[in-house]
Chain A
Amino acid sequence: MSSHREAPAISQDPVADNADTYAFVSPDDPTTVTIITNYVPLEGPPGGPNFFEFGDDVLYSVYVDNDGDALPEIEYQFRFRTTLQNEDTFLYNTGPIRSLTDPNWNKRQLYSVSVIRSAGPAEVLANDLACPPCNIGPRSTPNYDSLAAAAVHRLPSGETVFAGQRNDGFFVDLGAIFDLGDIREIQNLHLIPSPAGTSVDPLKSLNIHSIALKVPISLLMRDGSVPSDPASAKAVLGIWGGASRRKVQIREGSSTKGSGPWVQVSRLGNPLFNEVIVPVGDKDRWNAVDPIEDVGFEQYVNQPELARLLPVLYPGAFPNLAAYTKDRADLHAILLTGIPGGIVPGFQNFTGPKPADMLRLNVAISPTSSNPNALGVVGGDLAGFPNGRRVFDDVVSIELKAVAGATIPLVDASYTVDGAVGAVSSYLKPGVDRYQTTFPYLGSPHDGFDTPSS
């Protein structure tokens, strides 16, 4: 998956598991950028009575690099606290929840938002902002969308925030891809063949917890401007998310206390980087370090394991890929430095030679308002991945095609793409309920009553 349970340690710690990070110029408000970081992967909607929530003991961060040094000049911090209205019931709610202050809603989460700019002091932007409840069912959360809408908070400092349960927008045929790289539509060509089938999307009925942040572009740029020239280096932002825990945890009775510095336990810039590129023995280390230290993972991008596996798993389908032994400069650019100008007409998101896993968003490229292509830049839509990442971008298809060789000609004109690359795809089209056209852009979460199994 993009980064759902992608590393051994974080797979044991769902509330701190950064499963997806998105960053895009807001399509309905193009003077702003929206950044979404998702946590608590694979939420089964009926998972009560202790429905899913953020970790009170986790520091959630959104990082922005606006000068290409792979270090954050801006960090937004989110901290949560859980309150109980009634300790004498086992219920999440004791009646219908009709507002964010409804006394029937027993277990609630509130959060604070702070920002740190250029290593200055933390500035608290807001305290005690309400999360919406989880979507329980028609008796408990009869008008869920109104609850979610009430949990969109506009801050005096200019940002808009939302933190709570949403529909997981990521899509992939999990069951197939982790069964030795199977793609059902072409599994007749697999080393262990079976008749061609149809891909399925197990995430289509699962929820996620999202921290969504919409920020005026001028607040993110180094000089407070709103860039309009896509060719300008200062138009590109590096963006990633991360979660940290206190270094020491002491359990005493039923309480847990923390002490010491915050230690990063999860991070995510590009989708699938840690999941597919980094080998399992290095995944926990990758989560613990910062993008500035990604030079230590460069070799996994230059010689990706998946590119060696595809010709083995699909014998005879990828002869040119099998014969290609050079370092993958195309993947290095897409994932670690951004794509320089002059390679894709009208596009660049280069942040400099420092290799670092970040989403790189060129904010001077306007959002695609009609018929955006989920294949992003590969599909000719410069507003999509790897120019940042939109919620509906088909990052599985894009990255599979890229690893399979589709993007090698961008840097090596002598290379001929294997014909089978055209058949490498997620083959999935997410449903219309998966997303929404306004902030926070991920759709309303599935309720547990109507989605009892997943």
Chain B
Amino acid sequence: MERLSRRSFVKIAGAATGAAALAAAPPIARAAIGEEGAQPTDPTAGVPEEPVVAYVRDAERGEVSIAAGTAEHTYRDRALVQRLLRTAGRKGVS
């Protein structure tokens, strides 16, 4: 859960400085922001230096979290969650 203290804001603002990986977040995020279903990928998107990590936070609620750079956002995208679960060899949650 995102902490809503000023300290959290301070940390994010500070740590983002010089974090090239953060630039990779928007294209990934756009694929999931409030949208059900897959989006075409952008082959020209920048490649981050750090891993971009997506994980299923809550399969029942169709929530996936994406950590990129020094940010993390959680989206509700049941299609993406099902694809991840299928890929992982697990039964998807409808």
Interface residues of A (CB under 8 A from B): 59, 63, 71-72, 75, 77, 114, 116, 119-122, 124, 244, 246-248, 250, 257-262, 290, 292-293
Contacts and interface: CB of A to CB of B under 8 A. Distances in A.
A114 B10 CA distance: 12
A261 B53 contact: no
A157 to B, nearest CB: 16
Nearest to B55: A248
Given A71-B7, A119-B9, A290-B7, A261 B71 contact: yes
Given A71-B6, A119-B6, A259-B51, A244 B13 contact: no
Interface of B: 3, 5-7, 9-15, 17, 21, 50-53, 67-72
Contacts of B5: 71, 290, 292-293
Contacts, number: 74
B15 A59 contact: yes
Contact of B15 (A122, A250, A292): A122
Nearest to A112: B18
B6 A116 contact: no
* Shortest 10 CB-CB contacts between residues of A and residues of B: A260-B67, A122-B14, A116-B14, A122-B17, A259-B67, A260-B72, A71-B6, A259-B51, A248-B53, A259-B53
Q: Is the interface of A mostly helix, strand, loop or mixed?
A: strand
B50 A258 contact: yes
Contacts of B13: 116, 119-122
A114 B17 CA distance: 10
B72 A292 contact: no
A260 B9 contact: no
A248 B11 contact: no
Most buried by A among B5, B14, B51, B69: B14
B11 to A, nearest CB: 5
A262 to B, nearest CB: 5
A72 B67 contact: no
Nearest to B50: A259
A428 B11 CA distance: 40
A393 to B, nearest CB: 27
B29 to A, nearest CB: 13
A290 B9 CA distance: 13
A250 B68 CA distance: 13
B15 A260 contact: no
B14 A121 contact: yes
Given A119-B9, A248-B67, A293-B5, 18 more contacts: A71-B7, A77-B14, A77-B15, A116-B10, A116-B13, A119-B10, A120-B13, A122-B14, A246-B70, A247-B67, A248-B51, A248-B53, A257-B50, A259-B52, A261-B11, A262-B11, A262-B70, A290-B3
Contacts of B10: 72, 75, 116, 119
Nearest to B48: A259
B7 A114 contact: no
A292 B3 CA distance: 11
B51 A261 contact: no
A217 B68 CA distance: 37
B72 A261 contact: yes
B87 to A, nearest CB: 18
A257 B52 CA distance: 10
22 contacts: A71-B6, A71-B7, A72-B6, A75-B10, A114-B17, A116-B14, A119-B6, A120-B13, A121-B14, A122-B15, A248-B53, A250-B53, A257-B50, A259-B53, A259-B68, A260-B72, A261-B11, A261-B15, A261-B67, A261-B70, A262-B11, A293-B5
Contacts of B71: 260-261
A355 to B, nearest CB: 15
Contacts of B15: 59, 77, 122, 261-262
Contact of A244 (B11, B17, B68): B11
A247 B72 contact: yes
A75 B11 CA distance: 9
Contacts of A75: 7, 10-11, 14
A122 B9 CA distance: 12
Contacts of B7: 63, 71-72, 75, 290, 292
Contact of A250 (B12, B21, B51): B51
Contacts of A122: 13-15, 17
